[in-house]
Amino acid sequence: MPEATPGEIREFAVPVIVSVSSGRMLCKFGDMHECAEFLLGHPVWTHEFADEKLWAKMKGAIYGQHPTLRDSEPLAAEANKDNWESVVVKITQRFGDTLPLQSVGAKRTEHPMESLHRMVGDKPVLVVEVPDRADLSIIEFYAGLGLGAGRSFEDVLAFTDIQMEIGHQWVQWMFPLPEPSKAHPSSPVMSSDDIAAFVSTPELQVRARRALDRFQLFLANTTAWRRDRDHNHLRITRVIRFLSVIGMAEDAKAFCDWAIQTWENANPGPLPVQTHRYWTEALKAHPEWLN
């Protein structure tokens, strides 16, 4: 799905919005991160959540749209690791389950390393490189011969649902595509040789099916994606296209049908038109949204 544009409006759970405005974690980190990036209209790196200027900007944007949420600050301040769920109940009872947010659509003005240096001042910054092999191929990763984004194929299969939700780069290794990732430009891109290897090698398709089974189990165990917009919708599009590209069209169609049916079973109406189009177009050799 396209990135948020200035003025775009989207519904978010109130505890997620209050997490962004207050700095108190009242939801999954991934949900807060997604809300922050939508609100600002650009990527936010993890270290930047320690930047007071970022919090002030997000708080101002949210209170500008929903002034009554200022009254949520005393409630959020009560939250700790033991009582946060009861605080969430109080907040939703007072402010409702969801509220619309409008993206301010601001462009980034700093490189992530610039924001890091600004935050730490003259203190030395140690940058640790994840010990992946720079030349690791997708096929080698699938064969268990190296790490992708710091994890092996089996490591990802053993992820908890929370790890799958809050992690980001694992999905580009488990379900690579022939197109570069906009979110993670350094992620692997499938070559024609990679695709041919998947198509002609039953063992690789068995592993691809194991990856699909784990992701589908994650979706079955979680409910956050069963709303109008969620970052997992992009992942579902990726998985459908990956399976279609590597010659597993039947698996792709079955998974697409399952995802649509599961979403619609949890909602009073049909899957949003745009999401439906992305998922079903991903079944084609040349999806319309690639043009």
Task: Please check whether residue 2 lies inside any domain of the structure.
Answer: no
**pLDDT band for position 4 (50/70/90)?**
low
Identify which has the larger pLDDT, 183 or 33.
33
Predicted TM-score (pTM) of this structure: 0.57
pLDDT tens figures, 41-95: 888 888 888 888 899 999 999 999 999 999 999 999 999 988 999 999 999 999 9
- Least confident range of 18-32, 99-113, 124-138, 260-274: 124-138
> What are the φ and ψ backbone dihedral angles of 164, each rounded to 5 degrees?
-70, -35
On whether both 100 and 224 belong to a single domain, the answer is no
Listed residues 88, 120, 152: the one ending a domain: 120
User: Minimal CA–CA distance to 165: which of 34, 38, 15?
Assistant: 34
On whether both 176 and 234 belong to a single domain, the answer is yes
Residues contacting 114, CB < 8 A, separation 6+: none
pLDDT tens figures, 109-165: 787 778 888 888 877 766 544 444 456 789 999 988 888 888 889 999 999 888 888
On whether both 148 and 114 belong to a single domain, the answer is no
| Dihedral Cα 100, 277, 106, 96, nearest 10 deg | 10
On whether both 110 and 187 belong to a single domain, the answer is no
Q: How many structural domains does the chain have?
A: 2
Residues contacting 225, CB < 8 A, separation 6+: 219, 232, 233, 236, 263
Task: Please check whether residue 98 lies inside any domain of the structure.
Answer: yes
On whether both 66 and 177 belong to a single domain, the answer is no
User: Minimal CA–CA distance to 95: which of 34, 16, 156?
Assistant: 16
On whether both 106 and 64 belong to a single domain, the answer is yes
Identify which has the larger pLDDT, 130 or 167.
167
Domain residues for the domain of 108 are 9-120
Q: What angle do CA 66, 70, 74 make, to 5 degrees?
A: 145
Q: How far is CA 280 from CA 172, 195, 216, 276, in A?
A: 20, 21, 17, 6
Radius of gyration of the chain (CA): 20
Task: Please check whether residue 128 lies inside any domain of the structure.
Answer: no
Give me the chain's average pLDDT, please.
89
Write out the two tokens for 145: 């011969």
Query: Between 249-265 and 273-281, two packed helices, what is the crossing angle to 10 degrees?
Result: 170
- pLDDT score, position 125: 66
Task: Give the bridge partners for 98, in sequence order.
Answer: 13
| Inter-residue contact 21 to 120 (CB < 8 Å) | no
| Inter-residue contact 256 to 264 (CB < 8 Å) | no
On whether both 99 and 150 belong to a single domain, the answer is no
- pLDDT score, position 3: 52
On whether both 151 and 53 belong to a single domain, the answer is no
On whether both 150 and 39 belong to a single domain, the answer is no
Give the long-range contacts of residues 134-139, CB within 8 A, separation 24 or more: 137/188, 137/194, 138/173, 138/176, 138/188, 138/190, 138/194, 139/194, 139/197, 139/204
On whether both 259 and 176 belong to a single domain, the answer is yes
pLDDT > 90 in the chain, percent = 59
Listed residues 120, 150, 182: the one ending a domain: 120
